[in-house]
């Protein structure tokens, strides 16, 4: 059973359809990259996957033990956090809220989990640091640790490397690859960066209002649309 299954999904704003008749599935351990130009419906799709926006037609079903509020979400950078007084630990721990339900306080297990994720991402020394004093790369790691606290099976990353310099970007991709391979957590990444996308991803969803392409990366490289967007640089022999 797939983690997420989208069947004939259409999503829109005030009568205007942004995404229509979209079909795809995400299986355990997949690394799916959603690519497409600005305004192609990527952000809208993310909102619907998270349950923040209703679909107009079709349906999104969750399986294999994944519930909608257990997606580990890494949002795009947001302005209000720039001067927010919060320690890294407070931020990471807030990822455990979805397993709290009505109980108002975190358990010892929640705290242990938060510390483990910080260690995994190499930010355990920043525990007491103020979030606003972190570098761009450190912020992304902290938010990734929070996302990992919220999920056991699926990460959803929305333009995670925008605003990072090339070195940090490389490190971040490496980190995601490691998490995906070592712990079998499925990764869904929305990205502009189509070149890097095909390096790491197992599957590609090329979105342009509907799915221009959905399948394995290998097939994408061979497909007409894939070759067009990759500019003929990769012809399949690169592997």
Partner 1 sequence: MMETIFEMFSYPFMVRAFTVGALVALCSALLGVSLVLKRYSMIGDGLSHVGFGALAIAASLNMAPLAAAIPVVIAAAVLLLRIKGSSRIKGDAAIALISTSSLAVGVMVISMTTGMNTDVYNYMFGSILAMSEEDVILSVVMAVIVLILFIFFYHKIFAITFDETFAQATGVKADLYNTLIAVLTAVTIVLGMRMMGALLISSLIIFPALTSMRVCRTFKSVTINSAVISVVCLAAGITVSYVWATPAGASVVMANIAALLIYSLIGLVRNKG
Binding residues for partner 1 (CB under 8 A): 50-52, 68-71, 73, 75, 78, 80-81, 83-87, 90-91, 93-95, 97-98, 100, 104-106, 128, 130, 133, 146, 150
153 three-state secondary structure: coil
Nearer to partner 1, 132 or 181 (CB): 132
The least CB distance from residue 30 to partner 1, in Å, is 20
Residue with smaller CB distance to partner 1, 63 or 106 = 106
Q: Nearest CA to 178 among 150, 148, 143?
A: 148
Closer by beta carbon to partner 1, 75 or else 215: 75
- List of residues 6+ apart from 225 with CB closer than 8 A: 206, 212, 213
CB of 37 to partner 1, least distance (A): 23
Q: What minimum distance in Å lies between the beta carbon of 63 and partner 1?
A: 18
Contact, 155 vs 186, CB < 8 A?
yes
Q: Which residues of 46-69 are buried (b: 16+ CB within 10 A; e: fewer)?
A: bebbeeebebbebebebeeebeee
The CB-of-69 to partner 1 minimum distance in angstroms stands at 3
The C-alpha R_g of the chain, in whole angstroms, comes to 18
Nearer CB in complex with partner 1: 76/174? 76
Residue 17 vs 99, nearer CB to partner 1: 99
């Amino acid at each position: 059973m797939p983690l997420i299954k989208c069947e004939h999904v259409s999503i829109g704003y005030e009568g205007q359809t942004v995404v229509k008749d979209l079909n795809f599935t995400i299986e355990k351990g997949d690394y799916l990259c959603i690519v497409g130009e600005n305004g192609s419906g990527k952000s809208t799709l993310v909102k619907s996957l998270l349950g923040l926006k209703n679909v107009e037609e079709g349906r999104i079903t969750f399986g294999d033990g994944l519930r909608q509020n257990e997606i580990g979400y890494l949002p795009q950078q947001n302005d209000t956090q720039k001067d927010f007084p919060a320690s890294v630990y407070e931020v990471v721990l807030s990822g455990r809220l979805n397993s709290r339900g009505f109980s108002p306080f975190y358990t010892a297990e929640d705290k242990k989990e938060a510390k483990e994720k910080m260690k995994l991402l190499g930010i355990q020394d920043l525990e007491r640091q103020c979030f606003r004093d972190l570098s761009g790369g450190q912020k992304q790691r902290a938010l990734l640790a929070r996302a990992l606290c919220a999920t056991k099976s699926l990460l959803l990353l929305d333009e995670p490397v925008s605003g990072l310099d090339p070195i940090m970007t490389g490190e971040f991709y490496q980190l995601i690859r490691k998490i995906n391979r070592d712990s079998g957590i499925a990764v869904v990444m929305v990205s502009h960066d189509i070149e890097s996308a095909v390096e790491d991803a197992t599957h590609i969803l090329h979105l342009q209002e509907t799915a221009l392409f959905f399948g394995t990366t290998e097939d994408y490289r061979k497909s007409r649309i894939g070759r067009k967007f990759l500019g003929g640089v990769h012809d399949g022999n690169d592997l």
